[in-house]
Structure 1
Amino acid sequence: MTGMPPDVEAAFFDLDNTVVRGASLFYFARGLAARGFFSRRELQGFTRRAVHYALRGEVHGHLVEVRELALAFVAGHTTAEIRGIGEEVYDEHVEAKVRPGAQALARGHLAAGAPVWLVTAAPVELADVVARRLGFTGALGTVAESVDGVYTGRLIGEPLHGPAKAEAVAALARASGWDLARCAAYSDSANDLPLLSMVGHAVAVNPDRALRRHAAAHGWPVLEFRTWQHAVRWTRRLGAAGALGAGAFVLAGLVRRGR
């Protein structure tokens, strides 16, 4: 298959803008908002903070805000409830956003006998649903602590973003006996350079400008699953600040509709 490296022991796929168009965290937020997890005031406050971070380009600060907000909203709820919502969010928002090109690549790896893992900073509850629905081998995602099936409002480890994502994949590879030099990784974002740089077959998918430059400098393949018009529009907007801003406007739309 075009774009699929040969003789791969395992393949790792980022989720947002790689396998799925857009930000899965905000699809999840839409699902929670529709079910009364957020008040209008809380949504407005989050939107203001998201816009603030987007304009200033403070990605880490925004991730901290997202993490703390998400943990506060799920605290006291059962894991079964949140996983059930994850299933519904997939049907309502995510399924239609799956990129056929990325799905075909994953199927190619699976057909060749290579495990395929989804690796994302999104909640593992949502990551597990997406991976299972797409037939992937498994998923790694950000894990919220639970006791006796109820979320505590604390996180286990760090959000799977940047170096933490690479460390999680390295640990999985060690446990599974895979040689990372014979593994492949797919991502759209320069945030995933720690992961992409440690595998033998790094592939930039719908890349942001920083990743596109890095891929060109290192001879990595670049795959584009967007339409030409879509690609031009996103090339102008991309970068972490642009992505955060887009998420902010999604939440702003929810506020305007009174959810």
Structure 2
Amino acid sequence: MAVLRRLTQARRSPSERTALAGEAAAEAAEAALRAEPQPDAGTGGPAAEGAEDRPGKAPKAPAGNHTPEPDDPRAAAFFDCDNTILRGAAIFYLGVGLYRRGFLTRRDIARFAWQQAWFRLNGAEDPDHISDAQHTALGIVAGKSTADLEVLCEEVFEQVVADKIWPGTRALVQMHQDAGQRVWLVTAAPLEVARVIAGRLGMTGALGTVAEAEGGRYTGRLVGELLHGPAKAAAVRALARREHLDLDRCAAYSDSANDIPMLSLVGHPYVVNPDGALRRHARAQGWRVRDFRTGRKAARVGLPAAVAVGVLAGATAAAVALHRRRSCA
């Protein structure tokens, strides 16, 4: 990773930053897969506690051993996170967690609430919202300990994952695990967040946005760029090369037209809870569609403005109340 850190300091073209982000994500994912012991697979730590009781959790590996070789080592499944596995967007849940721990202001949390409402109601990502959340998060973590953020992510997503997972997508994850295939989460969310969510679902590992760190502290910069759109495809391609996967035998799942590059890489693309653009593309390509949402049209057409304003007002009111409680304490 040291070479990647040096490279990311240089001025790079968009395509070079995309490739760098993909390589960084794949390198981090492979390093975690090869690490010994593996916290989420066997020897304690928050991710291991109660693992046997979580649906979809893979059996624990013996302490001190590497992850067992899959029965079908040339095939794998790649799952997008936001609105594919998780209801809503992981980065916004992280924002709420940061606020509750004093890292964000009331204005920040109001903006995060509005963006989350927009995402839930429109069923699609807004690049400006994602960029805004990214820059806010990078500014917050600059100079902070990487270990501290890992602990914070565990705390934030302990409850979120249990409450926000689409049961239908969880079943798809389990289907690939039962087939003896590796299953990877692929998301623009920070790698630390991605690993927690993947661990809770018993996935093999995660490909996420890699934040640059030196001496155990974040610099406030990314390695390459956000793992979004073409960068996800670059990460999947890089991991497939490292793990000797046959992409024609692999599957990928996503809700967003931004992930068409990733979906187009594999032999078995699936569309889950799609936005309008991806639904149209899937229809044209003959891709299979799974929609686990209920009352989708009602949510998008019936009360969008009222719900959005309500979410924003509720978040702001909660922020004020929390601020007052802290002031009185």
**Distance in 2 between the 1:140 and 1:117 partners?**
7
Partner of 2:136: 69
Q: CA deviation at 1:102?
A: 0.7
Alignment RMSD (CA, Å)? 2.8
- The counterpart of 1:24, out of the listed 72, 75, 90, is 90
Change (3 A) 1:48 1:88: closer
Change (3 A) 1:139 1:236: farther
Partner of 1:3: none
Q: CA deviation at 1:50?
A: 5.3
Asked whether 1:254 is paired with 2:315, we answer yes
Corresponding letter in the other structure for 1:159: L
SS of the residue corresponding to residue 33 of structure 1 reads helix
Corresponding letter in the other structure for 1:17: N
Paired residues of 2:233 and 2:262 also in contact (CA < 8 A): yes
Change (3 A) 1:143 1:250: farther
**Distance in 2 between the 1:138 and 1:47 partners?**
27
Asked whether 1:206 is paired with 2:268, we answer no
**Distance in 1 between the 2:312 and 2:192 partners?**
21
Asked whether 1:174 is paired with 2:235, we answer no
**Distance in 1 between the 2:221 and 2:312 partners?**
24
- The counterpart of 1:91, out of the listed 152, 158, 169, is 158
Corresponding letter in the other structure for 2:250: C
- The counterpart of 2:250, out of the listed 175, 183, 203, is 183
Moved more, 63-72 or 199-208: 63-72
Asked whether 1:233 is paired with 2:298, we answer yes
**Distance in 2 between the 1:156 and 1:192 partners?**
20
Corresponding letter in the other structure for 2:148: E
- The counterpart of 2:261, out of the listed 194, 204, 216, is 194
Change (3 A) 1:120 1:103: same
Residue-by-residue CA offset, 1:185-235 (whole Å, 9 max, x unaligned) = 0001111011111111100001111111111111111011122x1x22356
The residue correspondences of 1:45-64 to structure 2 (distance < 5 A) are 46=111, 59-64=126-131
Corresponding letter in the other structure for 2:97: G
The residue correspondences of 1:65-144 to structure 2 (distance < 5 A) are 65-144=132-211
Corresponding letter in the other structure for 2:131: V
Residue-by-residue CA offset, 1:33-53 (whole Å, 9 max, x unaligned) = 000001224445x459959x9
Change (3 A) 1:185 1:234: farther
Partner of 2:217: 150
In the alignment, structure 2 segments of 5+ residues that lack a partner are 1-71, 323-329
**Distance in 1 between the 2:206 and 2:104 partners?**
27
Asked whether 1:40 is paired with 2:106, we answer yes
Paired residues of 1:209 and 1:235 also in contact (CA < 8 A): no
Partner of 1:13: 79
Paired residues of 1:166 and 1:194 also in contact (CA < 8 A): yes
**Distance in 2 between the 1:194 and 1:28 partners?**
26
TM-score by length of 1: 0.83
Change (3 A) 1:68 1:217: same
**Distance in 1 between the 2:202 and 2:243 partners?**
19
**Distance in 2 between the 1:69 and 1:15 partners?**
20
Q: CA deviation at 1:108?
A: 1.1
**Distance in 2 between the 1:36 and 1:23 partners?**
21
**Distance in 2 between the 1:250 and 1:155 partners?**
31
Pair member with larger Rg: 2
**Distance in 1 between the 2:185 and 2:310 partners?**
26
Partner of 2:7: none
SS of the residue corresponding to residue 195 of structure 1 reads helix
In the alignment, structure 1 segments of 5+ residues that lack a partner are 1-6
Residue-by-residue CA offset, 1:102-149 (whole Å, 9 max, x unaligned) = 111111111111100000001111100010111000001111111121
Change (3 A) 1:87 1:210: same
**Distance in 1 between the 2:237 and 2:312 partners?**
34
**Distance in 1 between the 2:240 and 2:312 partners?**
37
Q: CA deviation at 1:178?
A: 0.9
Change (3 A) 1:47 1:121: closer
TM-score by length of 2: 0.66
Change (3 A) 1:194 1:142: same
SS of the residue corresponding to residue 222 of structure 1 reads strand
